[in-house]
Amino acid sequence: MTKLEEICSVAHESRIKVGTLDTDIKNAVLLQCADSLEKHCDKVLKANELDIANAKEKLMAPAMIDRLTLNKERIEGMADGLRQIAKLNDPIGEVMNMTRRPNGLIIGKKRVSIGVIGIIFEARPNVTTDAFGLCFKTGNCVILKGGSDAINSNIAIVSILKKILKKNNIPDGALSLIESTDRETTIEFMRMNRYVDLLIPRGGAGLIQNVVNNSTIPVIQTGTGNCHVYVDKDADFDMAIDIIVNAKTQRISVCNACESVVVHKDIADKFIPKMYKALREHKVEVRCDEYSKALLETKKHAILADEEDWGTEYLDYILSLKVVDSLDEAIEHINRYNTSHSETIITNDYDSAQKFLDEVDSACVYVNASTRFSDGNEFGFGAEIGISTQKLHARGPMGLEALTSYKYTIYGNGQIRK
Amino acid sequence: MTKLEEICSVAHESRIKVGTLDTDIKNAVLLQCADSLEKHCDKVLKANELDIANAKEKLMAPAMIDRLTLNKERIEGMADGLRQIAKLNDPIGEVMNMTRRPNGLIIGKKRVSIGVIGIIFEARPNVTTDAFGLCFKTGNCVILKGGSDAINSNIAIVSILKKILKKNNIPDGALSLIESTDRETTIEFMRMNRYVDLLIPRGGAGLIQNVVNNSTIPVIQTGTGNCHVYVDKDADFDMAIDIIVNAKTQRISVCNACESVVVHKDIADKFIPKMYKALREHKVEVRCDEYSKALLETKKHAILADEEDWGTEYLDYILSLKVVDSLDEAIEHINRYNTSHSETIITNDYDSAQKFLDEVDSACVYVNASTRFSDGNEFGFGAEIGISTQKLHARGPMGLEALTSYKYTIYGNGQIRK
């Protein structure tokens, strides 16, 4: 048995005990973890300094170093995150749809933990406490595989959490960190379907594709968002512009930001110059199709898009712009190029709104609102492990329920099948 | 674009139209398909004769040839299956948990089709109509990849169904059959995650493992069942024996049949000889651990088990038998060797029953009833595409709801994120 296999097998063996812990115990542990993290802040910061020094030596980009960097406030934020999770309702144990069958069998669908969840993530040490908190609250054992750039920070954080687990007699497999950060270990981890029930990659498109292509463990894909705003011919122009500016510029680096605007031809000549003006106040560049380029002919920051633009998640002050002849064409364009994350229609027409809601194939489909609301907190879930862009198990913002499965429990009194 | 890629891409492009068909139309099509199958019974039988002749030439085992064989009654059974599906409630469109957020956004979770579902199956031509019916009723496009031994039958059946689809202006991608049956095509199909949302293998453990190891499409594993009956020290002996005999012998070739019995030591010496006698009336062979072997010392059909027996799904008149010191040991044994399908405890003790329900890690956990009830019809689902033995998306008997996803639909009036 390799070291990695041992980690996975210990987690697998711990799953029943962790899955049946009482809510009171889980909450107490989460609060103790939060306190201990703050108490041992210096230890974490020292480890983090090592990671930052290594990153600087490797000439890592400043934005990346910023993501990697911890300070007292950020550690307090991580601790508060754990306290928030402690406050949420525990979904485990709820029984849904209990029915009595004609033969007297009583069948209920009971919400249970999934078992062992693997999280593969990049150099953001805050994911460590966040993923642990959400998985532990739902009675799952979690195995973390973080990026090599944050390894010292992750080891320090996990050792603090594990001490609290031990103090509370929680099985050791409840939380594990894979310390080896080489590529071979990552590939080996993805093939551990014998022990691991679910794998969630958190990071860029490259990481996610690698996991999808290699994992034998069921995967939930999260986070890529090429989100569209469609402005229908019956749109309120001011509302449309407010929403586009908000969805594009309120926070540019997030998956629910708008990356592409689609406009109905009937209003294009009046709407597009107004929209351009508003976007330029935020220094947004517009990548146009030929029709809209003609409308913005004299504008310096309206350039011609190429095919690749329609599928691009810029995460920058750029958006693509397409003019369509009809709602049908808009829906077809969106369904061709989107990432099934979030799209919105701006319209006052009832039929257009309903048709868009029905036919756009995305996790979150809006009428007259910004795509920026696709978020576990905004949806009222209280927490979020990510936003699923696939259709199996969980779609859209994933709260605690997305980290649960169910089992059928059946009460009989001697029934046999005839 | 290869021929296979074209099939998958056409299905993908058809998914919106098929996913938004009205229930009335879907039901009418299912009924017409049923009638047409019966009307063209001779055409199907002729194609089936070809498959049977080829199978005989290849010296296929008689049981396999029986599974492959169609006759008038079996075709009528397939048609009736479609009529049954037409009668079921259409789950698509249901909106769950609609709430109004503090900012006025109205968020609902709407049940929608998954999109494109691939089914890889072996030489059972009835799966063709069955899988099509369930997928079509839930607005999904289905791509079938059947075994080479049934290829002529499958082509004949699918061509009858496709004519009805065409007559009703249903997009061509609603139903596709991959006619090429070589291994390379199967592997290529499993990598079509760009177009296919879900892959369900229906067949033996070898097929399922191959799909799990190679697919980039999310997979639902179904059907392997190493099901246990645990006889607690407080069990009613007669009830226990009735249930064991039923679960083992009522139908031996099915995944919810009992394959292993676990008995508490306190009652072993009284219970096991009685149970052995009852099982022998059905010619069941018992593979014993050392303790139970000693109790059945003189019995010819009680032989010593080896390690492999504990994990074996016999699908035959054989079961393994293990004596344990405690309920904890029983649960540990079951969780080590089961396939997470169905297990039952026979007991009159309240705490034992609750503990077993909580801690046994299976899709269906019973108290005082036969494992043979793990079945979509017995659970009241009206139909079943298989029994999932994994924890993501769907667990246990999978009815129509297991073939659906959801999207969030959000109604706003100009909300932007602050």
Residues A242 and A244: their CA atoms lie apart, in Å, by 6
Task: Tell if the CB–CB gap between A198 and B114 is shorter than 8 Å.
Answer: no
Residues B384 and B377: their CA atoms lie apart, in Å, by 7
| Residues of chain B contacting A365 with CB distance shorter than 8 Å | 407-410
Which strand (E) or helix (H) includes residue B189?
helix B183-190
Q: Give the pLDDT of residue A113.
A: 98
Sheet of B198-202, strand order: B175-177, B141-145, B116-121, B198-202
| Same-domain pairing of B217 and B75 | yes
Which strand (E) or helix (H) includes residue B282?
none
The mean of the pLDDT values for chain A is: 96
Q: What are phi and psi of A148, to 5 degrees?
A: -60, -30
**Is residue A122 situated within a structural domain?**
yes
Q: Beta-carbon neighbour count of residue A328 at 10 Å?
A: 11
What would the mean pLDDT of B371-378 be, rounded to a whole number?
Answer: 96
Q: Are B106 and B99 in contact (CB under 8 A)?
A: yes
Which strand (E) or helix (H) includes residue B188?
helix B183-190
Would you place residue B123 in the very low, low, confident or very high pLDDT band (cuts 50, 70, 90)? confident
Check CB contact of A181 with chain B, cutoff 8 Å.
no
Searching chain B, which residue's CA lies closest to the CA of residue A364? B408
Which strand (E) or helix (H) includes residue A323?
strand A318-324
Tens of pLDDT, residue by residue over A225-267, are: 999 999 999 999 999 999 999 999 999 989 999 999 999 999 9
The ipTM, to two decimals, is 0.94
| Same-domain pairing of A373 and A407 | no
Check CB contact of B187 with chain A, cutoff 8 Å.
no
Check CB contact of A366 with chain B, cutoff 8 Å.
yes
Distance (Å) of CA A357 to CA A202, A216, A328, A367, B408: 28, 34, 12, 8, 9
| Same-domain pairing of B244 and B218 | no
pTM > 0.90: yes or no: yes
Å between A354 CA and nearest CA of chain B: 10
**Is residue B418 situated within a structural domain?**
no
Residue type, A413: N
User: Domain of A58?
Assistant: 3-186+393-411
Check CB contact of B409 with chain A, cutoff 8 Å.
yes
Q: Give the pLDDT of residue B383.
A: 85
pLDDT exceeds 90 at position B219? yes
Secondary structure in 3-state letters for A363-411: CEEEEEECHHHCCCCCCCCCCCCEEECCCCCCCEEECHHHHEEEEEEEE
| Residues of chain A contacting B200 with CB distance shorter than 8 Å | none
Nearest to B47 by CA among B80, B64, B70, B67: B70
Q: Are A357 and B409 in contact (CB under 8 A)?
A: yes
Distance (Å) of CA B110 to CA A354, A360, B218: 13, 13, 21
Residues A247 and A374: their CA atoms lie apart, in Å, by 11
CB-based burial label for A8 (10 Å; 0-12, 13-18, 19+): buried
| Same-domain pairing of B232 and B215 | no
Would you place residue B120 in the very low, low, confident or very high pLDDT band (cuts 50, 70, 90)? very high
pLDDT exceeds 90 at position B86? yes
B412 vs A358, A367, A406: nearest CB: A367
Q: Which two tokens stand for residue A329?
A: 């064409």
| Sign for the pseudo-dihedral over CA of B364, B218, B377, B260 | negative
Query: Which DSSP state fits B391?
Result: S
| Residues of chain B contacting A362 with CB distance shorter than 8 Å | 407
**Is residue B384 situated within a structural domain?**
no
| Same-domain pairing of B140 and B285 | no
Alpha helices by DSSP H, B21-150? 23-39, 41-57, 62-68, 72-87, 126-137
The answer to which of A29-38, A214-223, A304-313, B327-336 has the lowest mean pLDDT is A214-223
**Is residue A25 situated within a structural domain?**
yes
| Residues of chain A contacting B406 with CB distance shorter than 8 Å | 395
Query: Which DSSP state fits A325?
Result: S
CB-based burial label for A279 (10 Å; 0-12, 13-18, 19+): buried
B395 vs A368, A396, A405: nearest CB: A405
Residues B82 and B19: their CA atoms lie apart, in Å, by 18
Alpha helices by DSSP H, B262-349? 265-280, 290-295, 327-337
Our CA dihedral for B128, B131, B132, B133, rounded to 10 degrees, sits at 120
- How, if at all, do strands B396-398 and B386-388 pair? antiparallel
Check CB contact of A335 with chain B, cutoff 8 Å.
yes
Would you place residue A205 in the very low, low, confident or very high pLDDT band (cuts 50, 70, 90)? confident
Q: Beta-carbon neighbour count of residue B401 at 10 Å?
A: 13
pLDDT exceeds 90 at position B47? yes
pLDDT exceeds 90 at position A183? no
Residue type, B17: K
Q: Are B344 and B230 in contact (CB under 8 A)?
A: yes
The mean of the pLDDT values for chain B is: 96
Residues B29 and A383: their CA atoms lie apart, in Å, by 44
Tens of pLDDT, residue by residue over A347-378, are: 999 999 999 999 999 999 999 999 999 999 99
Q: Give the pLDDT of residue A122.
A: 86
Q: Give the pLDDT of residue A123.
A: 79
| Residues of chain B contacting A411 with CB distance shorter than 8 Å | 366-369
**Is residue B386 situated within a structural domain?**
no
Q: Which two tokens stand for residue A84?
A: 């928030």
What would the mean pLDDT of B71-86 be, rounded to a whole number?
Answer: 96
Q: Give the pLDDT of residue A259.
A: 98
**Is residue A197 situated within a structural domain?**
no
Residues A162 and A37: their CA atoms lie apart, in Å, by 11
Alpha helices by DSSP H, A40-118? 41-57, 62-68, 72-87
Query: Which DSSP state fits A11?
Result: H
CA B300 to chain centre: 36
Q: Give the pLDDT of residue A181.
A: 83
| Sign for the pseudo-dihedral over CA of B394, B397, B403, B407 | negative
Tens of pLDDT, residue by residue over B398-413, are: 999 999 999 999 999 9
Q: Give the pLDDT of residue B91.
A: 97
Residues B157 and A50: their CA atoms lie apart, in Å, by 66
**Is residue B287 situated within a structural domain?**
yes
What residues are paired with A342 via a beta bridge? A364
| Same-domain pairing of B269 and B363 | yes
pLDDT exceeds 90 at position B156? yes
**Is residue A221 situated within a structural domain?**
no
Q: Which two tokens stand for residue A206?
A: 């490259």
Q: Which two tokens stand for residue B347?
A: 């007991």
Task: Tell if the CB–CB gap between A363 and B408 is shorter than 8 Å.
Answer: yes
Residues A103 and A44: their CA atoms lie apart, in Å, by 60
Task: Tell if the CB–CB gap between B370 and A416 is shorter than 8 Å.
Answer: yes
| Same-domain pairing of A32 and A100 | yes
| Same-domain pairing of A125 and A233 | no
Question: How close are the terminal C-alpha atoms of chain B, in Å?
Answer: 46
Which strand (E) or helix (H) includes residue B114?
none
| Same-domain pairing of A23 and A172 | yes
Task: Tell if the CB–CB gap between B105 and A212 is shorter than 8 Å.
Answer: no
Q: Are B359 and B346 in contact (CB under 8 A)?
A: no
What would the mean pLDDT of B270-280 be, rounded to a whole number?
Answer: 98
Angle at CA A236, nearest 5°, toward A231 and A237?
75
Q: Which two tokens stand for residue A102?
A: 């004609």
Check CB contact of B98 with chain A, cutoff 8 Å.
no
More confident site: A263 or B61: A263
Would you place residue A159 in the very low, low, confident or very high pLDDT band (cuts 50, 70, 90)? very high
| Same-domain pairing of A162 and A262 | no
Q: Give the pLDDT of residue B81.
A: 95
Distance (Å) of CA B164 to CA A116, B90, B137: 46, 20, 15
Give the 3-state secondary structure percentages of chain A, helix then strand then coil, rounded to 5: 45, 20, 30
pLDDT exceeds 90 at position B205? no
Å between B57 CA and nearest CA of chain A: 37
Å between B411 CA and nearest CA of chain A: 5
Number of folded domains in chain A?
2
Residues A185 and A165: their CA atoms lie apart, in Å, by 26
CA A328 to chain centre: 30
pLDDT exceeds 90 at position B197? yes
| Same-domain pairing of B235 and B215 | no
Strands (E), B89-243: 95-100, 106-113, 116-121, 141-145, 175-177, 198-202, 227-231
CATH number, domain of B266, equals: 3.40.309.10
pLDDT exceeds 90 at position B122? no
Query: Which DSSP state fits A174?
Result: G
Check CB contact of B217 with chain A, cutoff 8 Å.
no
| Residues of chain A contacting B243 with CB distance shorter than 8 Å | 414, 416
Alpha helices by DSSP H, A69-204? 72-87, 126-137, 151-167, 183-190
Cα-only R_g, chain B: 24
Give the 3-state secondary structure percentages of chain B, helix then strand then coil, rounded to 5: 45, 20, 30
DSSP string, B349-376: -HHHHHHHHHH--SSEEEEEE-GGG-ST
pLDDT exceeds 90 at position A196? yes
Q: Give the pLDDT of residue B79.
A: 97
| Same-domain pairing of B260 and B191 | no
Hunting for tokens 């010819």 — which residue is that? Answer: B300
Tens of pLDDT, residue by residue over A112-140, are: 999 999 999 987 899 999 999 999 999 99
Task: Choose from B103, B107, B249, B371 for mutation: most chain A CBs within 10 A.
Answer: B107
What residues are paired with B227 via a beta bridge? B258
CATH number, domain of A177, equals: 3.40.605.10
Q: Are A83 and A57 in contact (CB under 8 A)?
A: no
